[in-house]
Structure 1
């Protein structure tokens, strides 16, 4: 099959040959589009995709592109890469060429195609081959043109055919078009996103509909052999990316389609697969009972097994067929191997819990860093991660045993604020944002300010959720002899010139217990002179809001995480200092975050306490102005200082 790919480059079919008419057309379009979009880095003349389910069950993914390179930023258009899964798909390069400004045509040759093992992490082992094509002589001013077909000639289940197409990219497009084709007699069910002025995403993920000429309704062409659904947009404005947006999949116009109007087929297909792989063997039975021992409560049993799977089953992905890629290997296979990927670990976790009477199911998610796939609008069967729905106290909860650092009942932030598919139960469930308290950093700090302006500071810190996993994982990964240096760096970030006196770390490798961090340090000049006063700042009091950098964004925003941070800081001042001013109590609350802070003065002792909570991940564009105004109030408050005088 790989040889077939190379041979395809030796001759271009007549319909794909370069013509003078196309050269004239592209030059005309370039002149027109450059005038309309003078800041464009490239111009897209054609963005065309066709996805076909054939009558014999093959899936053809055809794509054709033509564009003009205007800056270094779009020279990458001359490079294409594919993944070839042996026994499943092959690539047919229809044509690929660049045209220099003087009209010289540079056709690709088989020598421009290379094959290699795909770039893999140390924990991924696939069975495929990476194929890449470098179109010759692509430079600023070049026109790039190519077309290819990625043919799944042996899909494991053609009924899972689920085409989709996105119409907008970072550069203007004259024509963006997609066609979905199914055999005659089959119906395609589809949902469009951001193609209609009444789309519910408007006011949420995006301020207004992007500019283009086109309609959300397809042109449907029926023949004796097939039905073709066509969407065509013209003069599509470029998508100007903004940091901290909700993700490309929720801000770009798109259409998604499939062979079924609901999840019934997918529930049956994957539910059967998951149930089959959660097979209890004598080894799994005895292991589960040994792990929980004499524990009686549901939560205790779940916690022990949760921690055991995380720490004893290494994350390594070895995938081939759909059954193992999407359904995980049989639980016993993963146990025997002592390794597996997310779906493998989810299957084994459910099997172990089933032995001890706990209801648990593998579930499929599209993590929130990949955007927000609204499964309630369209029956999207796929995902990029597998975790678990686990029941205790009569309620469903989510746990993720993929990693090896989360203490029960916390799990990865990427698994929340999304819809997941529980195929075993036949349900689509919304999992809300993780409560802020379940992803926290809390600290108690004592500051002794001496008469000469130096200070001794001691800190105790504890964590939950991703914060705990991050700190625990960092120290576990680093050699123990480097721990002191790491804490020294931590101290220097808190106060310039700080000298570490002592430190202690607890429960680095025992994820069933809280990870604790304690350290003390000294600073020679702790206060800041300001005229007749000395300024005192609360250690490590800083809150950032990178999502509010724009005054008038076009897209809704996404916070990195729900989160809680608390400070409890006590300043003990030498007798030669007098407290002249402390900031007033501050309290603010909205739908997305809240903050409360307070200073108490008792003679020469000052106590500062605060609590900051991020409660939601996604900030709709309609609420952005209020969100930004409230965030700026918090940032202004934490910059205020304590004023002292010195006798």
Structure 2
């Protein structure tokens, strides 16, 4: 792979006699689902081996135009590495630290020696398991053995020392130089700010008006091209085009808030996909930019790319992460607040009756935090003619026997309100009859019932967020029936989950109350047994049936 700051000078294939083999090399742009455009390209070709035991040698020469972009090397590959050697020669004029991560029990040995005035560092590798991409796994930097190259300084042709990234201050200085070089024109932006804040009296009202306007009117498009991977577009360009990447949206928000009279600043941050913090001055430390508004000397973080976040709330992907905040010639380091599980809630209130073999009733569902925002992302991101289909799928939560009608209207742009959905629900074939008894299950959602971790999974599992799911559902006893059996209560409390659920009888009504709290996002591979045992208990609870006896 290469980009605007690098090039592939050589890529060839030879046999065991070092004879050149003709090779059909492809050269294509690289794309991912998360990035709309970048300047990264890949050269690739097909390797063939006529017989087992044949030897092929691939030689690649890649040149970096700027050493600050030479940051990382991973030792693992998509295939098993039986034996390998990686060497790097650090010239006398370059000051570089090589920082190791996750060597652990892997057979990787580091050797250093002098080669003239230079230093050669060699890593000997034996029998490394292949890397594997799995759903909801932590980022690679948390898992796989790799090194960071921290290029600290070099001496130019005259022997003068040029500092690169020795300290966090040096990294901040470079980031600031890119930001300070952005041409900012505020004429049109100021008009819009005055329009948005006209008649508003409180600071919160004014900030929200600006923040929510950017969320509603500027489309987030991840566009990375050379230095633009680090340098923001100008705010007036983002304002006029009505789209931008995270840096463009951040600098537009900053500019608008400053026009409104607030102390707004840019913030560099790494999402939870990245394991490092700013104690390691490297371009690998962060991958995102947001805005902060300073209130009484403390930052309130604002992320324009999070379309449905309310003012003062933050996406899980940056919660608890260290943020680098503009502060003139210096900088501030602050952590984004960590939300509790109670911030992300789904609350169900339902009343059901038995109608033949079906359960019919009314359900009220409330969503807060990222439970609300993720629903709204999915709903508004669909074409109009498909939104109803998405709505019904979400509300039935994968229950093929459930159908939903008469869903109440809601305003997806009202970020400060609890998202409330009221609807009629029917669960077909939920009731079985035998020998004058009725058998049924009352929970139409069965949250977590199928969330067992596959024992063949290679990596740990990372939840989208911590959260609470709460249900209060009642069932009216049909005339002429009494309760024969109610499922036993369940209570679980471990490092991952807190579960309390039970049934009670109140006159002619059965009440079902449950609360499931996911306490932590990460389930380590060696903790799967504990998790799966709890999930099996939950599933068994769901499978226990209410038995009604004919009087």
- Bin for the TM-score computed over the shorter chain: 0.7 to 0.9
Q: Which runs of 5+ in 1 are unaligned?
A: 1-81, 197-208
Partner of 2:448: 543
SS in 2 for 1:259: strand
Partner of 2:112: 219
Q: Would the alpha carbon gap of residues 143 and 610 (structure 1) be closer, same or farther in structure 2, given more than 3 Å must change?
A: farther
Give 1:295 deviation, angstroms.
3.6
Mapped partners of 1:146, 1:344: distance in 2: 40
Give 1:345 deviation, angstroms.
0.5
Partner of 1:435: 340
Q: Would the alpha carbon gap of residues 220 and 245 (structure 1) be closer, same or farther in structure 2, given more than 3 Å must change?
A: farther
Give 1:252 deviation, angstroms.
1.7
Partner of 1:330: 234
- The question of whether the paired residues in 2 share the 8 Å contact of 1:568 and 1:610 is answered with yes
Mapped partners of 1:561, 1:327: distance in 2: 31
Partner of 2:123: 231
Partner of 2:319: 416
Q: Would the alpha carbon gap of residues 276 and 106 (structure 1) be closer, same or farther in structure 2, given more than 3 Å must change?
A: closer
Mapped partners of 2:50, 2:323: distance in 1: 45
Partner of 2:509: 605
Give 1:643 deviation, angstroms.
2.6
Give the superposed CA RMSD. 3.6
Q: Would the alpha carbon gap of residues 598 and 121 (structure 1) be closer, same or farther in structure 2, given more than 3 Å must change?
A: closer
Question: For 1:361, which of 265, 274, 279 is the aligned residue?
Answer: 265
Partner of 1:187: 95
Partner of 1:400: 303
Mapped partners of 2:349, 2:524: distance in 1: 35
- The question of whether the paired residues in 1 share the 8 Å contact of 2:358 and 2:430 is answered with yes
Mapped partners of 2:64, 2:396: distance in 1: 56
Give 1:340 deviation, angstroms.
0.7
- The question of whether the paired residues in 2 share the 8 Å contact of 1:410 and 1:464 is answered with no
Partner of 1:378: 280
SS in 2 for 1:548: coil
Paired residues for 1:447-526 under 5 Å: 447-450=352-355, 452-489=356-393, 496-498=400-402, 500-511=404-415, 513-523=417-427, 525-526=429-430
Question: For 1:134, which of 45, 68, 85 is the aligned residue?
Answer: 45
Mapped partners of 1:278, 1:565: distance in 2: 48
- The question of whether the paired residues in 2 share the 8 Å contact of 1:405 and 1:511 is answered with yes
Partner of 1:147: 59
Mapped partners of 2:50, 2:351: distance in 1: 61
SS in 1 for 2:230: helix
- The question of whether the paired residues in 2 share the 8 Å contact of 1:268 and 1:423 is answered with no
SS in 2 for 1:609: strand
Paired residues for 1:307-322 under 5 Å: 307-322=212-227
> What is the number of residues matched between the two proteins?
533
Q: Would the alpha carbon gap of residues 448 and 315 (structure 1) be closer, same or farther in structure 2, given more than 3 Å must change?
A: same
Give 1:341 deviation, angstroms.
0.6
Residues 207-258 of structure 1: per-residue CA shift (max 9 Å, x gap)? xx23x1x43x54143534x433332223435557776543332222222121
Mapped partners of 2:326, 2:247: distance in 1: 13
Mapped partners of 1:270, 1:378: distance in 2: 15
Mapped partners of 2:450, 2:326: distance in 1: 38
Give 1:523 deviation, angstroms.
4.8
Give 1:259 deviation, angstroms.
2.3
Give 1:602 deviation, angstroms.
0.9
- The question of whether the paired residues in 2 share the 8 Å contact of 1:547 and 1:559 is answered with no
Paired residues for 1:296-307 under 5 Å: 296-307=201-212
Q: Would the alpha carbon gap of residues 602 and 375 (structure 1) be closer, same or farther in structure 2, given more than 3 Å must change?
A: same
Question: For 2:21, which of 98, 101, 107 is the aligned residue?
Answer: 107
SS in 2 for 1:505: coil
SS in 2 for 1:188: strand
- The question of whether the paired residues in 2 share the 8 Å contact of 1:440 and 1:565 is answered with yes
- The question of whether the paired residues in 2 share the 8 Å contact of 1:578 and 1:644 is answered with yes
The reply to whether residue 91 of structure 1 matches residue 8 of structure 2 is yes
Residues 501-527 of structure 1: per-residue CA shift (max 9 Å, x gap)? 422331135555444433213456431
- The question of whether the paired residues in 1 share the 8 Å contact of 2:171 and 2:282 is answered with no
- TM-score, normalised with respect to structure 1: 0.72
Residues 45-88 of structure 1: per-residue CA shift (max 9 Å, x gap)? xxxxxxxxxxxxxxxxxxxxxxxxxxxxxxxxxxxxx3443xx4
Residues 355-374 of structure 1: per-residue CA shift (max 9 Å, x gap)? 34544433333333x3x423
- The question of whether the paired residues in 2 share the 8 Å contact of 1:536 and 1:644 is answered with no
- The question of whether the paired residues in 2 share the 8 Å contact of 1:577 and 1:604 is answered with no
